[in-house]
Structures are given as structure tokens and as C-alpha cells.
Structure 1
């Protein structure tokens, strides 16, 4: 992260709207959906649907092999009806599973690697217009190949592809890698990872 603030910004200013009521309309393992009513001095009464995830942050893993390549997993995504290239990622399966535990599990399950070192290097809000979902990002190094497990019905045995940072960066620029967490990870790697401390 740079030390220069280019625009002063206060994210904790008072809210311009007042929440009046909230009711849960969808409940699932990973997320719930609420119908929320608000009041605004400018537009009056209005409603929004808000998705909030359960069991903490989504976790994504930027793994780097000893020959400086990043594993990407081929995933078939039903909502967009297309295959994507994504870094390993997922959700906690219970409130007690820590983000680091999720990172270790998803790297092993999806990419077929275990790592000696994990360092959290970022966190972002996925879709702040309608969701509370945050993604915590981990750098994983010192990789060892292990057996993978099945991913799920959408991609029961997808391929893992290894690309250098420069190759992945060009794929981001060319619109081949379009998954947001993967784009963010590749751009961060392209800027350099020397300042990410290993634990």
C-alpha cells in the first residue's frame, strides 16, 4: 500500500437514509437475503434487497509456485453460463472455521497444493450496492502438490492451469480472466509482492 492519500475521504459520515424495517426472505447455507425499507429526506420511502453472507468473509488465495506461476482453476459458473479462470476461493463451512483455515482448505481442494506460508494481504467489498460480502485475500508460498478433491456439481473435476504473473496480467487486460477477485490478485501481483511479509 502506498503512503500517499490522493483524496481525503471519510467513509463513516452519517447515513443519508434511515432504516425502518427489515425482514428475511431467503435463507441459505452461505447467505441470506433481507427486504429492507428505508426513509430518505430526498425521496421518501423506498425498499432494497440486501444479501448478507454467513460465517464471515469469503476467502481467496493467490498462490505462487517455486517457479513463480499462479494456479488458476477452471470453474463453470451457472448464473453467467460460462467457464471462468479463478484463483482458489470459498466460504467457511461453519462459524468456527477461520479465514486461514478456509484458505488452506480451498487451496488444497481446488488447486491441489499445500503451502508453507500464508499472509493476508488485502480485503475488499465485492458488491457494496446490494451485499455485505467481503473477500479476504491470502498470499500462499512454499507450495507442495497434493491430491485434489471434487469441487462440486458445476465443475466436478475442473482443470488447474498455471500461468506466470505476466501471462496472467495479459489475460486480465485481454478479458480472458474476468473474475473480480482474480483480477484484483493478478493486478496486485503485477505491482509486486515484495512488501507482503511472510509469517
Structure 2
């Protein structure tokens, strides 16, 4: 319940890690129930992220193959990413990521939900968009670990089967 009073009071905050993508703060809190305690909170430098559930004219969904270093595995994900600057709007990020990662432009992008990624230690949200009216365009490199990812097209039924059998494990993709 977001309207309920907070059960803790923030006493102090100190940034302890700064990177190009995120910062980590050590935050001291107090609570009537437990007294003083600390938490580490992750803040993304360029704000929230977006994910794009794109659907082609024949009902296929493009998934991007990406190698994810923290998990040491390949993933199948919807096109997604973060802003290049804090001022970049969600809709612009969604359009850019769809173009860069999957090689499509959409005549219509509609936000259908927004969720908190990991509320236990991060302030980051992800906004999900539905992209329709797709037109193929050139893709670009997206990162050193997967410079030009493969794009795979699957039906909704195939995608649901891959969620069930553990092929698709990315949270934003499963939510979409």
C-alpha cells in the first residue's frame, strides 16, 4: 500500500560505488521496531529501462539472443535497454532499442505496464511497450559481449512453451 506511512526513517546516505551504469549507496535507517540498520541501494545513472514486445504482421515475436556475463549464459529476450541520458523519454528508448536490437521500426508503440525490477535493493522500474505495424530496418551493434545479436522469431505459443521449459528466463520477457 503506497499510501501507508513508512515504517523506517532514513538517517544518512553515502555513495560507495560509482560506475558508468549505476551507483551504490549505503543507507542508514532507524525503525521503532528494530532500531538502527543499513541497506545498500542500487541507482541506475540514466534512469529506468524499457522492454518492447513487438508483434509482426504474421503474429511472430522477435527475441534477441544475448550473452549475459553475470549469469554466464545466453538468453532470449525482448528488445530492451536503458536511456542514453536521463532526459531520454521512455518512448524514444523503446523505439531505439527495437531498431538497434531487433531491426524493426513500429508505426505504433503503446506502454502497457510498468514494474519495479528488484525492489529489495534497486529503485529501477521497467516500462513495457507493445510494438505493432513493424517495418524491417538495419540493426546496429549493441555491446562487446554480443556485438550483433541474432534475432529469432517465435509465435506466442512457442514463446510460452519456452517460458515453461526454462529456455526463456529473463523476467521482463516473461512478464511481457
Matched, 1:42 2:33: yes
Deviation by residue 1:69-105 (Cα, 9 ceiling, x = unmatched): 1000001111111110000001111122111110011
Tell me which protein shows more strand as a share of its residues.
Answer: 2
Aligned-residue Cα RMSD (Å) equals 1.0
Matched, 1:154 2:145: yes
From 100, 107, 126, the counterpart of 2:98 = 107
Structure 2-normalised TM-score? 0.97
TM-superposed deviation, 1:107: 0.4
Partners of 2:26 and 2:67 in 1: how far apart?
A: 30
Name the CA distance, whole Å, in 2 between partners of 1:80 and 1:31.
18
Q: What are structure 2's unaligned runs of at least 5 residues?
A: none
For residues 19 and 165 of structure 2, what CA distance do their matches in structure 1 show?
Answer: 35
The separation in 2 between residues aligned to 1:40 and 1:98, in whole angstroms, is: 37
Say yes or no: does 1:182 pair with 2:169: no
Q: Which runs of 4+ in 1 moved over 3 A?
A: none
1:127-138 alignment, distance < 5 Å:
127-138=118-129
Distance in 2, matches of 1:76 and 1:146, equals: 23
